Amino acid sequence: MAQSSILESTPETPTQFPTWFSEQQQQAWADFQSLPMPSRGDEVWRFGNLKQLDFSEFTEKETSDIHFQIPSLPDGVICLPLEDALQSHSDLVQEHFMKSETRLGSAKFTALHKAKVKSGLFVYVPDGVKVADPIEVSHVLSGAHQTIFPHTLIVTGKNAEVSVIDRFSSANEDDAGLCIAVNDLIAGDGSKLTYCTIQELNTSSRMIQVNVTNVGRDAHATAFITNTGAQWARNESVSMMTGEGAHSDMLSCSIPSGTQQYDQRTYQHHASPHTNSDLLYKNTLYDTSKTVFSGLILVDEGAHYTDAYQTCRNLLMEDTTEANSMPGLEINADQVKCSHGSTSASISDEEIYYLCARGIPPQQARRLIANGFSTEVVERLRNEKLEEIVLQAIERKFALV
């Protein structure tokens, strides 16, 4: 008997999960059914490809292919599959699980995620504890027209430190899959939280990822997104600086080729004074690929002495590529320093000539320039292990274009 579409099948919460989780899933399913589909007139979907939102062909995957690479952890650190954490640390998960409103357009699909999610990662690092090596998680899409709903929930206590990498890939090159992922990243006061996404799905698949970061007093949070795969991917990233002295780095390196499309929406929300945020998104486009970037810096009333930057840079490797950028500011406080900007350019003949004059063939010269363009944002991670992992993913993509 054929499976029902994910848009039609009522969610079934495993009986071992807590009652509050089951109730939230039922409410989320009702929300999903009542919320309207995005439309052409929605500003948060401007330039977006709404045809990619037809998910009627996709069914829910019964079991999620998820693999963990967990380093030796200090005492007190909790690092568990989400389904285990829901049983052994139910109150702690409930305190932080999907508490924020979806702001950037995918409220309907966030509700679908909440109704269907059964797997993912839960990390809790207590006060003063530092995890030296990154925690790595691999999500694998397998089977034709299958959907996964992974959830990553990371909570750091005061002056704690941790880094986590989520990898998304496909088991084969032919089967179209769908991934709807949501992350809750809570950086406690004085802590350092680094989160990286490496998206390498096959070019028949689609992905929506919603990332919400809450940065406490004097905390430093970094969220890095790498897109090299998928036919279409939409990233919605929100960073909320809720405590004085909070700092957020929002970074991305995307390399679309062929007919790939990447839709990037960001929101830097400064809710307290003396906070900082710095966004740098870089896209290197090949063939007839397309990117959309829309970002907003919001400074609340009373959030004086905010220091915020937003930059999107597009490197157009062909005349047939398309990059749309819409940076924005909304400032409601005094004594702030905010700037935003976007650039789109191709490699100049002078740059190619300079390298060719030194014995480097034109095609290799173009790749060297594109590689250097991407490396700048990767170096902002300031972590050699994370930089190496991200650069390997970038190299794999450059080897194919």
Report helix, strand or coil for 22: helix
The tally of domains found in the chain comes to: 1
pTM, entire model: 0.96
- Name the token pair of 364: 């290799």
Q: Residue 44 burial by CB count (10 A; 0-12/13-18/19+): exposed, middle or buried?
A: middle
Given this model, what pLDDT does residue 90 score?
A: 97
Query: Residue 294's domain spans which residues?
Result: 19-347
Assess if residue 391 is contained within a domain. Answer: no
CA-wise closest residue to 225 among 80, 53, 380, 99: 380
Assess if residue 371 is contained within a domain. Answer: no
Given this model, what pLDDT does residue 2 score?
A: 55
Report helix, strand or coil for 59: strand
CA-wise closest residue to 227 among 197, 250, 205: 197
- Name the token pair of 100: 């924020």
Bridge partners for 11 per DSSP: none
Assess if residue 328 is contained within a domain. Answer: yes
Given this model, what pLDDT does residue 386 score?
A: 95
Given this model, what pLDDT does residue 291 score?
A: 98
Mean pLDDT by 10 residues, the chain (401 residues): 78 90 96 96 95 94 84 96 96 96 95 95 98 96 93 98 97 93 98 98 97 98 98 98 98 98 98 97 98 97 96 96 94 92 90 88 88 92 94 95 90
Q: What's the rounded Cα separation, in Å, for the pair 188 and 166?
A: 21
Assess if residue 105 is contained within a domain. Answer: yes
Assess if residue 72 is contained within a domain. Answer: yes
Given this model, what pLDDT does residue 59 score?
A: 93
Q: To 5 degrees, how large is the angle CA 216–CA 152–CA 52? A: 115
- Name the token pair of 101: 């409103």
Assess if residue 193 is contained within a domain. Answer: yes
Assess if residue 384 is contained within a domain. Answer: no
Assess if residue 366 is contained within a domain. Answer: no
If one counts every other C-beta atom within 10 angstroms of the C-beta of residue 92, the result is 15
Q: Residue 244 burial by CB count (10 A; 0-12/13-18/19+): exposed, middle or buried?
A: middle
